[in-house]
C-alpha cells in the first residue's frame, strides 16, 4: 500500500511539473524521433495546443528516452509512451493511460492519414469524454482505402460522434442535478439527456470526409474510422518508411513485439 502511494505521489508530481511549465507560442514545432530502427521527423499541430504543449514538456523532461513501442499492429499503427516499457525511474509509474489524461482536441482538419501522430486513450465505456492519455501516443500506418470503404468509415465516424455527444449530455445532466442538490434516477437522467440530444440532432450535419482527405486515404492510406474520436495532434513529415519497418516486426498475441523496438531519444529541432 505504501509503495503504491509513493507511485501515485510521483505521478502527481510529474503531472504538476508538466502543467506548470507548459510552453506557449504559435510557431510550428518540429521534432526528431530517433528509434532503434531509424529516425522520423514530426511536426506538432498548433490547433491542438494542450497536446502540443504536453508532448513538448514530456520530450524536454526526457520521458520518452529509452521507451519502447509496446503495441504494434501491422496495417494499423505503432504505439509508445507506456512508462512500464521504459527502464529507469519512470518504470515504476502507474499506467498513464488511466491515471494521467488531458482533454480531447478534435479538429476536422487533423485526420488519421498515414504518419498521423495521435493520442491513445481508454475506450468509450470507461472514458465517455474521450480524454487522451497524457503520455501514450500512436503513429498511423493504415492501409489504402476505396470510396466504398471510406463511405463506411463516414457512417462509423458519425455514429461515434453522436455517441460522444450523448455521453457528454448524460454527464452534464448528472453533474447539473447533483450541483442543484436534486436526486434523480438513471431513467430521468437519460430522459433529460435525450431531450438535449434531440435538440442537437435537429441542427447536426453528418460528418463528411473531404475530397482532399479522401484522395490522401486512397493514395497514401490511413485509418479514417478513428477520425473525430481520437485526437490527432501532429504528423510524420520525414521517415514514413520507418513506420513500415517498425510495423513489420513480429509480435505476440497481445501485439507486443518479440524483439524490443525503442525510442532512443526525441529531440526538438524547432520550437
- Give the start-to-end residue ranges of the domains of the chain: 2-144+220-270, 148-201
3-state secondary structure of 149: helix
pLDDT digits over 40-95, tens only? 999 999 999 999 999 999 999 999 999 999 999 999 999 999 988 876 555 556 66
Pair 118, 112: CB distance under 8 Å:
yes
pLDDT digits over 85-141, tens only? 876 555 556 667 878 999 999 999 999 999 999 999 998 888 888 999 999 999 999
pLDDT digits over 149-171, tens only? 999 999 998 998 888 889 889 98
Residue 12 confidence (pLDDT) above 50: no
Residue 16 confidence (pLDDT) above 90: no
Residue 13 confidence (pLDDT) above 50: no
Pair 137, 80: CB distance under 8 Å:
yes
Look at residues 23, 18, 20 and name the one whose alpha carbon lies nearest to residue 62: 18
Residue 8 confidence (pLDDT) above 50: no
3-state secondary structure of 82: coil
> What's the grid cell of residue 264?
532512443
Pair 103, 37: CB distance under 8 Å:
no
Q: Can you tell me which residue has the cell 481508454? A: 122
The whole-angstrom separation of Cα 165 and Cα 161 is 6
- Average pLDDT rounded to a whole number, residues 7-25: 45
Which CATH number does 2-144+220-270 carry? 2.40.100.10
pLDDT digits over 198-250, tens only? 999 998 889 899 999 999 999 999 999 999 899 999 999 999 999 999 999 99
Residue 4 confidence (pLDDT) above 80: no
The pLDDT assigned to 22 comes to 44
Amino acid at each position: 500500500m505504501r509503495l503504491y502511494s509513493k507511485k501515485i505521489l510521483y505521478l502527481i508530481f510529474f503531472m504538476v511539473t508538466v502543467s506548470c511549465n507548459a510552453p506557449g507560442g504559435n510557431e510550428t514545432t518540429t521534432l526528431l524521433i530517433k528509434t532503434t530502427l531509424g529516425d522520423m521527423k514530426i511536426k506538432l499541430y498548433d490547433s491542438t495546443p494542450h497536446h502540443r504543449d504536453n508532448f513538448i514538456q514530456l520530450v524536454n523532461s526526457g520521458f520518452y528516452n529509452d521507451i519502447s513501442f509496446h503495441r504494434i499492429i501491422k496495417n494499423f499503427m505503432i504505439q509508445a509512451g507506456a512508462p512500464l516499457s521504459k527502464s529507469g525511474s519512470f518504470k515504476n509509474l502507474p499506467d498513464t493511460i488511466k491515471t494521467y489524461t488531458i482533454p480531447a482536441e478534435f479538429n476536422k482538419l487533423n485526420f488519421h492519414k498515414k504518419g498521423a501522430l495521435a493520442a491513445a486513450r481508454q475506450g468509450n465505456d470507461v472514458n465517455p469524454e474521450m480524454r487522451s492519455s497524457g503520455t501514450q501516443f500512436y503513429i498511423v500506418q493504415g492501409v489504402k482505402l476505396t470510396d466504398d470503404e471510406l463511405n463506411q468509415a463516414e457512417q462509423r465516424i458519425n455514429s461515434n460522434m453522436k455517441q460522444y455527444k450523448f455521453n457528454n449530455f448524460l454527464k452534464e445532466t448528472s453533474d447539473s442535478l447533483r450541483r442543484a442538490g436534486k436526486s434523480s434516477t438513471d431513467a430521468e437522467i437519460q430522459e433529460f439527456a435525450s431531450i438535449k440530444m434531440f435538440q442537437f440532432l435537429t441542427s447536426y450535419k453528418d460528418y463528411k470526409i473531404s475530397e482532399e482527405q479522401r484522395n490522401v486515404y486512397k493514395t497514401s492510406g490511413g485509418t479514417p474510422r478513428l477520425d473525430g474520436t481520437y485526437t490527432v495532434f501532429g504528423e510524420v513529415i520525414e521517415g514514413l518508411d520507418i513506420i513500415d519497418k517498425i510495423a513489420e516486426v513480429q509480435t505476440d498475441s497481445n501485439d507486443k513485439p518479440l524483439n524490443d523496438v525503442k525510442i532512443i531519444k526525441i529531440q526538438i529541432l524547432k520550437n
